Structure 1
Amino acid sequence: MKPLIGITTYREPARWSVWEQGAALLPESYVEAVERAGGTAVLLPPQGEIGRLVEVLDGLVVAGGADVDPARYGAEPHPRTGAPQHARDTWELALLRAALEAGLPVLGVCRGMQVLNVALGGDLVQHLPDGSHQDPPGVFVKTEVRTADGSRIASILGADVQVNCYHHQAIGRLGLGLHATAWSADGVVEAVERSGRGFALGVQWHPETDLSDLRLFEALTAAAVRNLDSQERKVSCG
């Protein structure tokens, strides 16, 4: 049985065919990455309640996107911080906390890593020096990342890896139970992991943009399969 991997989406004005209206959006590369890695993608737009989602899902990807509202970590907005998306922040923070509480395997991508950090009480650097990790606009920046010895990210990707970055914010104070496990040459935190045996990993880059390297999505899917097998064993033993 393929594990069900939820992927958060966002509500934006969109245009297709003769229509122009609000839509729940996600770059299709996320879906393709999950499918190629052996999972079934379930798209999760911001909504009012989490309900039974964490009971139904086997894993969760918190996707990239807009800046997290600085009020969520007790800061005033930087002039370069984007307008807050309150509904998405509320939804993703609640969903992520519920997923972590339930032991669901989690992968945070770019904004998703930042949401993970904020959900656990950390904060963010609201703007990195111009031209460092988001230049030119709309183009992913090839970045060399060094991983920590003995970390989960190192076991998946190795000691050094080239990744596709596009971000102007970064991790500041680490959230409770999180450890920095990868850095770019300028010292910016590029990956975090949560303590414990569960799979909770965030990367500041965009692995979904390189479908020739599915190792992160495969690791998430493998953790979801283990979680699914464990739940099935509990039911059968019960």
Structure 2
Amino acid sequence: MEDSRYSIQEFIQKTKQEDKHQGLFELETSRLLEINLNGQVWAKAGSMVSYRGNIKFVRERMLEHGLRRLFKKALTGEGTSLMKATGNGKLYIADQGKKISILHLKDESLIVNGNNLLAFEQTIEWDIKLMRRIAGMLAGGIFNVKLEGNGRVAITSHYEPLTLIVTPDNPVFTDPHATVAWSGQLKPDFVTDVSFKTFLGRGSGESIQMKFSGNGFVVVQPFEEVYFSNDSKG
């Protein structure tokens, strides 16, 4: 009897694209997002893996969202740009093999670390949030994007994300480099611990932690993101 294991046919059967009929955003795999495009979405520039149909890609123009956001991007050293995908077809996007999570905002707001934002519907309002108290304290800087309204958002994380519930009597502290997102009603504060840096293995500067108080949630990942500014990418 012929061994059918590892045949091309078996490989195709296991890995071929399947329509799951889940709407605009659907997870083709845990690390590959399928967008059933009929109009326009915003996605992380350079995230396109494949597409079929009639889709055009336009990189975010410098002044597309006004001088205020351009000024914020310059201050934060933000190295992630957006692109518009417009048309009809199936678009597949990913970001360095990171795990993808889809969230449906329903008159809600979410703050996402810019490095963990993959895509969102055009119905979502967004703005870059400056973190003035931490500016210049971390190499490459950290910027966050506030998303609010109605629509779907796709975020990424290295490995499985963990969501921590925040209550007034139980604040949560996180490493900024491992913080993925948090609910919009939370306003993080920043605290430093000189002694804690010894345990983190940091060679210089104070250990910077984010403190979340109030009611909401924080999403973290078991990985410390490395940030690059536009100048450091070469």
TM-score normalized with structure 1 length? 0.29
* TM-score normalised by L of structure 2: 0.29
Which has the greater radius of gyration? Answer: 2
Greater per-residue helix proportion: 1
